[in-house]
Amino acid sequence: MHLLIRCTIFAALIAALTQPSLLHHAGRPEPIVILDQRSSLSPSARVQAAEAARVLLNQTPGSGVLIQLGGAPLSVQTAHRTVLKEGADANSLSAALAEALNALPLGGSGEITAITDGASRDRHWDGVVEALLRRGVPVNTIALQPAPREAFIADVRLSAPGAGERLLVTVDLEGANQALSLAVHEGDRQLAVSSDFAVDGSRSVDLAVPPQTPGFHPLRIELSHAGQLADHVETVAVIQDALPVLYASGRQGGGGRFLQQLLGPGVAVRETTPAAVADLIRERRYAGLVLDDVPATRLWPVAQRQLMHTVQEDGMGLFVSGGEAAFSSGGYFGAPLASALPVTIRQDQKSEDPSVALVVVIDTSGSMLGAPLDLGKQAARLAIRTLGPADSVGVVEFYGGRQWVTPLQPARNIPEIERAISRVQAQGGSEHLFDALQEAYYGLKNTEARYKHILIISDAGVEPDRYPELIRHMAQEQVTTSTLLVGGDVAGETRMAQWARLGRGRFYSVRDEFSLVELNLKQPQEKPEPGYRRGAFPLRTTSNAPWWRDVNLGGMPPLEGYARAGERPEAQTFLRTSKGDPILASWQYGAGRVTALMTEPVGEGTRSWSAWPTYGAWLSRAVARTMDRRPGFDVQVIRYFDHLVISAQRLRATGGDAPEIRLVGLDGVATGVSAEEKAPGLFIADLSFEPSRPALVEVQADGRLERVASPAFSDIVADGPVPQSKGLPLAQLARLTGGTHLANPSEADSLILKASGELGATDLWSWLCWFALALYLTELAYRRWPSRPAFARQERVP
């Protein structure tokens, strides 16, 4: 026994040397409670919250963790307590949740209960939520009702207009109050002010600020109550650069400058030549092209197709205008660009009777005596009957000599000329056709007529001469020659046919009166009717055209000239003449828009419009609506305390060069920022940035600039009341983490906290040492026990 005890002692000491520890589960819930006692809550809510916290913590008195946001420390027994004092820390629910999670060591399976109204000075709870989900820690939430508050500015949202456009400021308000007003200031200038309004709960108020210059504009939004300043917010407005527009004109010298004056600051006009258009639009840096009075001969079909492709595929806007050199007058009928226009190019034809000067050279030699001369005179009379007062006619007879039967004169008195022809008699003598031809030629040469013609009536029995040379020469001088053979023989027929051919005329052979044909020397011609019309053309607008809802179109003067075109049913026609001819039409062409203005915007057709006060606004609206106003990038700026993340997603085409991202300082100096391309066209820059500085970001690519601004402290509520709209959605948090949501603190006792998996550890070293001590004392007692004579005999060592 003695030996046994002693061995046990040694075993205990050896075990103690290994320093063993015993791990055990706590076995009871150890609640972790976040208690909101901030002054933003009503007194009754704070009391209810405190009572709920006591109920939870008293489930296990003396254990549990309390994290209190503001207020006086709660009188309750806890194992650990943290009080976040009222101010920045106390207003951060994300910090409170992180603190609560930190109370749970790795492997601990507790749960957190948050008794709060959800308001938080920042929304950066993404990291702690990820940790909660990763560790499987449920969060129970008990909702508190916020106290009624005076109206304050919860958020300010700004549009991002371009130059010349008004800025829309949307102010979200929370709280309750009446007789409120909002004002927008830039420095000492008041830019906009609202009328009085009231808030009860939440509402949004819009304010329109007049157009500002491109750039960053620090603004101050002030909320006043009964004339006294109640709240204010500093922010930064962004005005984008003017729309870059290319202007190519065929006739309007310096038209770009005038157009810029008309269109105002919202558009930046760059003037170029039609020949340079193809190269410039390939750069993809322009919102659109204004093609003003450019004829088709100066914009080759290849360039037209490229232009159409750019509009259709890239979305570039195209504004086509003009008069005498555009549309049908410009030769666009059948051109590639015609199919892209919102009007149909009309190629009207008109029938035109050209003026004719005719000299009939009639053979009155002896060989023509009798029937041949009669036939000849009949043919001559037939030929001159087709002439009109605008024409000229003369008759020359030749026999041994030549003479004018009637001199070349306007064909106003045809019957008289016919009578003169009838009086012609056959005379003997040699036939001097050559001289007669010359006579006729010289007579015609000095006559003003569209067509000059000689008709030779003969039996071909003439003296040989250099007829072919003369006739050929006359033809070259635009005096044509036709021949009419009366009677005659084959040789004569051949000769006279040759003369007609050389004279670019016709050959007729008349043998008897039955073979007389009407000599129609006057052929009406179809000519293109001029597409441009001059005059005074009053216009009628499409009622309530959306493009000009806020533009007063009253007093629109008549046009002084316009190009005629047909209306396309698929397009929208906004303006027409009183007779229905389209003047302004527009339609979607693929990704882009094409607008046609059937007159010169800075030329003859709108000469009187310069006096119309609304002309500039009207035209700039039409141009702006046509142009591609889509940004090149979608730029987001996200603040995370002292970090700034700039995200720029290319919206147009991928594969272009990386954008240049810059941060602009308050002094206007820009500093480049390096970005990584995380996905096709998506560039991310992540950098340290002071929360107190506004982040003014510029993204430059493809010759275009996008601006985005993030005011200082935009991700947190540095001071003042915390908006509920930016709060943590408690029910969602509970649902997401597997916790329970209670809408009322009085229901806190229904929360049964599960036993914690918290581990505890007890060192066994001490216990083993004391166990060894106890065994030693036991052995001592055993040694000294009186009634052990046998032992006394055994223990004695000889």
Partner 1 sequence: MPPKALWDRFRDWLAYLFILVIALVLWVAGAQPEIQVGRANQRQIFYLDASAAMMGDDAFDRAKRALIADVRATPAEQREVYLGDGGGTRLLSPGENVALLIRRLSGVAAAARPSEFEAWALAHVAKPPTALRYYGAWAAAKDLAARRPDGVLLSYGYLAPPTPGNRGVVNLGVTPAASGDWTRADVQVEAVAADGRTIGAGDLRFSRNGTVLAPTVLPLGRGRFRLDGLEADGRLLTVTLKAGDGFPADDTASIRLPDHRPIRVSLSPGVPSTIRDIVRLDTAFQITPVEKAEVVMGREGESLRVDKPAFVLTPRQEGATFAFTVTHPEEEARVHLPSGLARLGLGEADAEGLADRLVRPVSVDVAVGPRRFVSVWSSIFDQDADFAKSANLPLFVSQSLRWLADRDPWIAYAQAGARLSDQSGLYGLGEDRRIAARALNGEVRVGAAGVEDFDGLPLAVSLTDRRQTLAAAEPPPPDAVRRIERRGLPDLMFRLLVLAAAGLLLVEWRAFLRGAIT
Q: Which of residues 348-377 bind partner 1 (CB under 8 A)?
A: none
Options 358-366, 433-441, 443-451, 770-778: segment touching partner 1 (CB under 8 A): 770-778
Please tell me the distance from the alpha carbon of residue 694 to that of residue 84, in angstroms, as a whole number: 28
Q: Extract the tokens encoding 203.
A: 């509402």
Using DSSP's 3-state secondary structure scheme, residue 437 falls into helix
* CA Rg value for the chain: 52
- CB of 645: closest distance to partner 1 in angstroms? 7
Binding positions for partner 1, 619-678, rule CB under 8 A: 625, 634, 638, 640, 645, 647, 649, 653-655, 676-678
Question: Least distance from C-beta 652 to partner 1, angstroms?
Answer: 9
CA 415 to CA 69: how far, in whole Å?
Answer: 120
- Work out how close the CB of 166 gets to partner 1 at its nearest, in angstroms, rounded to a whole number: 12
Give the nearer residue to partner 1 in terms of CB position, either 300 or 767: 767
Number of residues that bind partner 1 (CB under 8 A): 93
Residue 660: its H or E element: strand 660-664
> Of 548, 586, 585, 543, nearest to 564 (Cα)?
585
User: From the centroid of its chain, how far is CA 287?
Assistant: 8
Q: Which is nearer to partner 1, 404 or 587 (CB)?
A: 587
Burial string for 211-237 (b: 16+ CB within 10 Å, else e) reads ebebbbbbbebbbbbeeeebbebebbb
Which residues inside 307-346 make contact with partner 1, applying CB under 8 A?
none
- CA nearest 459: which of 421, 487, 427? 487
Q: Which two tokens stand for residue 378?
A: 């009949």
Question: Is residue 765 at the binding interface for partner 1, with CB under 8 A as the rule?
Answer: yes
Instruction: Find out whether 41 and 142 touch, Cβ atoms under 8 Å.
Output: no
Q: How many CB atoms lie within 10 A of CB 593?
A: 21
Q: Count of alpha carbons within 13 Å of 90, Cβ hemisphere only? A: 21
Between 712 and 736, CB nearer to partner 1: 736
Residues 242-271 that bind partner 1 (CB under 8 A): none
The span from the CA of 101 to the CA of 94, in Å, is: 11
β-partners of residue 192 are: 184
User: In sequence order, what DSSP letters do the residues of 572-617 get, joined into one string?
Assistant: EEEEEETT--EEEEEEEETTEEEEEESS-TTSGGGGGGGG-TTHHH
Q: How far apart are CA 236 and CA 637, in angstroms?
A: 13
690 binds partner 1 (CB under 8 A): no
Binding test (CB under 8 A) with partner 1, winner from 441, 508, 532, 547: 547
Given candidates 100, 104, 163, 362, which one binds partner 1 under the rule CB under 8 A? 104
Dist. CA 793–CA 741, nearest whole Å: 79
- Residue 649 CB, nearest distance to partner 1 (Å)? 7
Q: Does 19 sit near partner 1 (CB under 8 A)? A: yes
- Smallest distance, partner 1 to C-beta of residue 667, A: 27
Nearer to partner 1, 189 or 549 (CB): 549
Q: In the window 73-102, what residues touch partner 1 (CB under 8 A)? A: 98, 101-102
Write the CB contacts of 539 (distance below 8 Å, at least 6 apart in sequence): 556, 558, 559, 575, 576, 577, 578, 583
Interface with partner 1 includes 761 (CB under 8 A)?
Answer: yes
Candidate segments 10-18, 142-150, 400-408, 556-564, binder of partner 1 by CB under 8 A? 10-18
Q: In the complex, what is the shortest distance from the CB of residue 544 to partner 1, in angstroms, rounded to a whole number?
A: 5
Of 464, 546, 613, 668, the residue at the interface with partner 1 (CB under 8 A) is 546
201 sits near partner 1 (criterion: CB under 8 A): no
Cβ-Cβ contacts under 8 Å for 559 (sequence gap 6 or more):
536, 537, 539, 577, 583, 599, 605, 606
The alpha helices in 82-233, defined as continuous H runs, are 93-102, 126-135
- 470 or 584, CB closer to partner 1? 584
In the list 1, 611, 669, 679, the residue contacting partner 1 (rule: CB under 8 A) is 679
Identify which of residues 31 and 323 has a Cβ nearer to partner 1 in the complex.
Answer: 31
Name which of 557 and 757 has its Cβ closer to partner 1.
757
**Looking at 195-203, 222-230, 704-712, 730-738, which segment touches partner 1 (CB under 8 A)?**
730-738
Does residue 773 interact with partner 1 by CB under 8 A? yes
Q: Which of residues 161-190 bind partner 1 (CB under 8 A)?
A: 170
Could you say which of 57, 733, 748, 753 contacts partner 1 (CB under 8 A)?
Answer: 733
203 vs 607, which CB is nearer to partner 1? 203
Distance CA 715, CA 732 (A): 21
Nearer to partner 1, 477 or 690 (CB): 690
Q: Are strands 215-225 and 228-239 parallel, antiparallel or unpaired?
A: antiparallel
Q: Is the dihedral of CA 13, 18, 19, 21 positive or negative?
A: negative
Interacting positions 461-500 with partner 1 (CB under 8 A)? none
User: Applying CB under 8 A, which part among 323-331, 517-525, 529-537, 766-774 lies near partner 1?
Assistant: 766-774
Cβ contact 429:366 at 8 Å: yes
CB of 21 or CB of 523, closer to partner 1: 21
Tokens coding 197:
């309004």
Centre a 10 Å sphere on the Cβ of residue 38 and count the other Cβ atoms it contains: 24
Asked if 541 touches partner 1 (CB under 8 A), the answer is: no
Q: How far is the CB of 349 from partner 1 (least distance, A)?
A: 32
Q: Is the Cβ of residue 42 or residue 636 nearer to partner 1 in the bound state?
A: 636
Is-contact 729 118, C-beta < 8 A? Answer: yes
Closest CB to partner 1 among residues 9, 405: 9
What is the distance of C-alpha 727 from the center of its chain? 35
Token readout for 19 is 């320093």
Cβ of residue 263: shortest distance to partner 1, in angstroms? 18
Interactions with partner 1, residue window 122-161 (CB under 8 A): 123-131, 134-135
What residues from 562 to 591 belong to the interface with partner 1 (CB under 8 A)?
570-572, 587-588, 591
Interaction with partner 1 in 708-727: which residues (CB under 8 A)? 726-727
Nearer to partner 1, 611 or 761 (CB): 761
Contact residue for partner 1 among 520, 608, 762, 778 (CB under 8 A) = 762
Q: Distances in Å between the alpha carbon of 654 and those of 447, 634, 698, 702? A: 69, 13, 20, 12
Decide whether 223 or 733 has the Cβ nearer to partner 1.
733
Considering the complex, state which of residue 514 and residue 785 has its C-beta at the smaller distance from partner 1: 785
**Collapsing DSSP states into helix, strand and coil, what is residue 51?**
helix
Query: What are the structure tokens assigned to 743, written together?
Result: 């809408």
Q: Residue 103's closest CA among 128, 86, 70, 71?
A: 128
User: What single letter denotes the amino acid at residue 105?
Assistant: P
Q: Per-residue x/- mask for partner 1, residues 204 to 243, rule CB under 8 A?
A: x---------------------------------------
Q: Which is nearer to partner 1, 312 or 614 (CB)?
A: 312
Question: With respect to partner 1, which residue has the nearer C-beta, 157 or 445?
Answer: 157
Residue that is written with structure tokens 């290849």 in the block: 302
Residue 62 CB contacts under 8 Å (≥ 6 apart), including other chains: 77, 78, 79
- Segment lying near partner 1 (by CB under 8 A), choices 267-275, 318-326, 662-670, 765-773: 765-773
Q: Which is nearer to partner 1, 489 or 677 (CB)?
A: 677
Binding segment toward partner 1, per CB under 8 A, in 12-20, 42-50, 144-152, 380-388: 12-20
Of 307, 276, 290, whose CA–CA distance to 245 is shortest? Answer: 290
Shortest reach from residue 680's CB to partner 1, in Å: 5
Rule CB under 8 A: choose which of 47, 208, 302, 759 binds partner 1: 759
Rounded Cα–Cα distance for residues 41 and 43 (Å): 6
